[in-house]
Amino acid sequence: MISIIDYGMGNLHSVYNALKTMGFDAVVTSEKEDIYKSKGVILPGVGAFPDCMNNLKKLGLTNVIKEIIFKKPFLGICLGLQLLFKESEEFGPAEGLGIFQGRVRKFPENMKINNEKLKIPHMGWNKISKKSDTPFLKGIPDNTYFYFVHSFYVECDDNLIATTTYYGINFVSSIYWQDTLFACQFHPEKSQKYGLKILENFANIAYGRNIK
């Protein structure tokens, strides 16, 4: 099965329903044994960075994530991307999981496109620009649109970057590591056809199947 980590925050059931609709076995869980036994792990997230970290700590899941993250396919979604880094400016500095070096920054005030001030949070459809090849993005054309809802973005080493997106600035919209870890700022479960394709790619990687 694929474990979707339940720590009290996140769009859990939309991810679960998408996987089940495509025929993949999944469970929403906060049980450590479920996570250890799973074929793959998804860390979703919606809410404030410090609250999410506190919930993970209370449930004893921070060490579990650190133990399994490079041992089995892993997908982070939205805040599930940001939590992988060392710290965030949100109500912070707030400590993250520290899986990767990097910092979560707030979008600058007064960003503009064509002299029009941009709203924060960045909410709605925007396109990704591929920077690296990864099997998680197989079948996803460059400049495909995905759905975003966020006020913060990740700054990290270039070797982690899978895609970037422009919203007043170019920001990291997804990362990958060694073809087993993928994390995205956008919401694949809300991004229709191509969002479902990313979830399908992840699930096939988790089950050791060929990606079509």
Residues annotated as catalytic are: 78, 187, 189
Beta strand 152-156 with 100-106 is antiparallel
Helix-helix angle 12-21:192-206, to 10 degrees: 80
Q: Mention every residue, 6+ apart, whose C-beta is less than 8 A from residue 161.
A: 131, 132, 172, 174, 175
Residue with tokens 């002299």: 115
Structural tokens at position 127: 């396109």
Both tokens of 74, joined, read 């892993």
CB 38 within 8 A of CB 72: yes
Tell me how crowded residue 68 is: count the other CB atoms within 10 A of its CB: 18
d(CA 24, CA 33) in angstroms, rounded, equals: 19
Residue type at 37 in one-letter notation: K
Q: In the 8-state DSSP scheme, what is residue 35?
A: H
CA distance 178 to 20: 26
Rounded CA-CA distance 70/6 in Å is 20
